[in-house]
Structure 1
């Protein structure tokens, strides 16, 4: 459970850093102004991220009006899927009902697209 919370916190840090240092990621933020959240299905663990003014911020609480929410069956499932090396882990999670998505699917696709900028660079 703690590992999943740490992962969600670290995701916020990685997005903040990418917004400052990665021109390709910055381009993806252009004109975007919305919030989204990642959480466990029961809402026991929740973190929201705000994309605005070409920057990213995050808080450890639910957002009043997220553009989309990705809910994982539980913390272990969220950790497994978000850290998987399998490119299809997310889609499998949706098919197996380990992930539920609510809200704007085009922004979910945007998030999946920008996640490639958040992986550590290979040496």
Structure 2
């Protein structure tokens, strides 16, 4: 349940960044594809559609995602996506806790936008 909530919150953060952060919006320019994050068994799945400099998301599988990131289970996905360790994602791939299918260049793009999705520290 927590992993499902995290994916939903990620969608909200992306939508907000698309509306309010010009640097994030630049990252969306010219992009037109879908991707999804899920558990390996598919019980928890959320897809994200990037189009027209905006983001839509649904809590179900997409028929043709450009890439899919699958975590062995919900607890592993939650642990990796919320880790403060910058190498958690790469370690997850090495440990086979994460499986990636599809266009790796778009996965790298997704990794690059993650810096825009962190809550800002209060001054």
TM-score range, shorter chain: over 0.9
Deviation at 1:9, TM superposition (A): 0.3
User: Between Structure 1 and Structure 2, how many residues are aligned?
Assistant: 122
RMSD in angstroms over aligned alpha carbons?
0.3
What stretches of structure 1 of length at least 5 have no aligned partner?
A: none
Distance (Å, rounded) in 1 between the aligned partners of 2:21 and 2:15: 10
Instruction: Name the counterpart of 1:120.
Output: 119
Deviations 1:34-64 (A, max 9, x none): 0000000000100000000000010011000
State the SS of the aligned residue for 2:30: coil
1:10 aligns with 2:9: yes
Q: What is the aligned partner in structure 2 of residue 81 from structure 1?
A: 80
**TM-score normalised over the length of structure 2:** 0.99
Q: Does 1:71 align with 2:70?
A: yes
**What is the Cα deviation at residue 122 of structure 1?**
1.0
- Structure 2 portions without partners, runs of 5+: none
Identify the residue that residue 24 of structure 1 maps to in structure 2.
23
Runs of 4 or more consecutive aligned structure 1 residues displaced over 6 Å after TM superposition = none
Question: TM-score of the superposition, structure 1-length normalised?
Answer: 0.99
The whole-number CA distance in structure 2 between the counterparts of 1:116 and 1:81 is 15
Could you tell me how far 1:73 is from its partner in structure 2? 0.4
Could you tell me how far apart the structure 1 residues matched to 2:114 and 2:17 are? Answer: 10
Per the TM alignment, residue 28 of structure 1 is displaced from its structure 2 partner at its CA by 0.1
